Amino acid sequence: HSFALYTHAIALKTELRSDCFFTTEHFDLTCLHLLQFLLHSESHIFFEQSETRIGGSYKKAIYKEYTDGSFTEHKKRLAEEAHLGLLGPVIRAEVGERIRVTFRNNARRPFSIQPHGVSYRRKCVLASHVSPGTTFTYEWDVPEDVGPTEQDPDCLTWLYYSAVDAVRDTSSGLVGPLLVCRKGALLSSGKQKNVNMEFFLLATVFDENLSWYLDDNILMFTLSPDKIDKDDEDFQESNKMHSINGYMYGNQPGLEMCKGSAVSWHLMGLGSEVDVHGIYFSENTFVTKGTRRDTANLFPHTVLTAIMKPDSEGVFEVSCLTADHYTGGMKQNYKVKKCHRWNVDLSMYLHEKIYYIAAVEVEWDYSPNRTWEFERHQYHEERYFRIYTGEKMQKKAKEQITSPLKLFLFQTFLDTLSFHKHILGSLEFLLPQQCCHVTEPDSIMLEKLHRSSVGQV
């Protein structure tokens, strides 16, 4: 059984961009291919196949692409699309265009296509639930007010999904990415002009207990289907797959890029209240919403576009920092390799800023001003006041370590560690603040000095 899609984006001036033909089909998804992971306690919960456990393979429904409107020949995915996994084909359009999607439903139940980030006519809403064996054509407009602003990247990330029963449809696998781009941002092939690579990541806990195909999966993959208790908490937990694009524990292929290249990451969230994700890119940073960071927050049906220029070579992790999501398998590897085409020319850095920082030994008083103590006890009897502020403090000084204490603090110097830069008192305890510009390299000269100061530094 399959669902068929035929799509193309048409400019409002009748300029044809391209013809695309999609399908959604049933297939068996294996979230983990490497058998040695079965011995790992963290993955054993999800990938043990037994009398009452399904294991790591599930029957899913996905959107697939066809070469034409006859829906007879699949369009093969390119090598650079291998990372998409169970995601549907990428739908792309520029502002001012119209997207037309012809959807054929060859499944046994109604499904649909519901997009975010575009506008559509009322008839598309009323007739959007496509019955089995029928075909429907969607038309979505991409007006200027949904496109990128001047501060945004060239293309904004959105998603589409089946919304007849949004929870069960998406749990079954029916979801895909959609890009809305500024005018002139796309090549005739649909790829972005100003980036070298683009990757689409859907971080979600696929709850197979909510899938339309749970009964099919029990019959296909368990050894004793009649012994299954669907309400058993351990059984339900074993079917909650913490995945990125349907892959777990580093099995996602195709996340490879060149050092110094322009990489566009399109991040998407889906699911329920458990799908609160912090997607962390180890060893490299990205720019999003005008800030540079290494972690992105994702929630159900939220999206994010992040632009990265990786400057560290090697194999690094992209993962969810939510503890049980990470141990549950929501972690993949991306590879940054040296490619002559995109090598970074260090001569592009015209300015260099040098910081002189020393770790200085000081005597630090955590409470240099004790007037608060007198104010607090000024109404107490004279004898008690004398005991508390005098005798008690003397006794404490003999039995405990009290201020001032010897510490090492970072301090900034104006040159080669001879002239100390004055810092405001409230900031003295902190590492000196350093300001730098993007593309400006920093050199930090660090020294350890011994110096005694009485009282507060």
Give pLDDT, residue 18. Answer: 45
Q: Which residues contact 266 (CB under 8 A, 6 or more apart)?
A: 155, 157, 177, 179, 198, 199, 200, 201, 303, 304, 305
Among 79-88, 143-152, 418-427, where is mean pLDDT lowest? 418-427
SS3 label, residue 399: helix
321 - beta bridge partners? Answer: none
Residue 164 has pLDDT above 70, yes or no: yes
Q: Which residues are within 8 A (CB) of 36 and not within 5 positions of it... i.e. 6 or more apart?
A: none
Is residue 452 within 8 A of residue 362, CB to CB? The reply is: yes
Burial of 426 (0-12, 13-18, 19+ CB in 10 A): exposed
CA distances to 148, 418, 444 from 449, rounded to whole Å, are 52, 11, 16
Residue 267 has pLDDT above 70, yes or no: yes
Burial (CB count within 10 angstroms: exposed 0-12, middle 13-18, buried 19+), residue 47: buried
Residue 384 carries which DSSP code?
H
**pLDDT tens digits, one per residue of 302-356:** 999 999 999 999 999 999 999 999 999 999 999 999 997 545 544 444 556 777 7
Could you say which of 31, 124, 181, 320 is catalytic?
A: 320
Question: CA 205, 325, 276, 146 torsion: positive or negative?
Answer: negative
- Of 441 and 222, the structure prediction assigns the larger pLDDT to 222
Name beta bridge partners: 319: 280, 331
Q: Which residue has the higher pLDDT, 354 or 222?
A: 222
The residue extents of the domains of the chain are 2-342, 345-368+403-457, 371-396
Q: What are the strands of the beta sheet with 405-413, ordered from one edge?
A: 405-413, 353-364, 442-449
Pseudo-torsion of CA 10, 13, 14, 16, nearest 10°?
-50
Which pLDDT band holds residue 404 (cuts at 50, 70, 90)? confident
Report residue 272 as tokens. 């329920």
Annotate 207-242 with b (16+ C-beta within 10 A) or e (fewer): bbebbbbbeebbeebbeeeeebeeeeeebeebbbbb
Query: How confident is the model at residue 358, as a pLDDT?
Result: 80
Residues pairing with 356 in the sheet: 413, 445
Using CB atoms within 10 A of its CB, is residue 30 exposed (0-12), middle (13-18) or buried (19+)? middle
Asked, as a colleague might, if the bond just before 148 is cis with ω within 30 of 0, I would say no
> Tens digits of per-residue pLDDT, 32-77?
444 444 445 688 899 989 999 999 999 999 998 887 888 888 889 9
Question: How far is C-alpha 411 from the chain's CA centre?
Answer: 36
Alpha helices in 81-191 (DSSP H): 122-126, 166-171
Which phi and psi (to 5°) does residue 347 adopt?
Answer: -70, -15
What is the pTM for the complete model shown? 0.75
Token pair 């009485």 is found at 454
In CATH terms, is domain 2-342 a member of 2.60.40.420? yes
Question: Nearest CA to 384 among 375, 394, 396, 392?
Answer: 392
Mean pLDDT of the chain: 81
Query: Is residue 78 scored above 90 in pLDDT?
Result: yes
Find, among 106, 101, 128, the residue nearest to 21 by Cα.
Answer: 101
pLDDT higher for 196 or 446? 196
Cβ proximity of 75 and 241 under 8 Å: no
Whether 320 sits among the annotated catalytic residues: the reply is yes
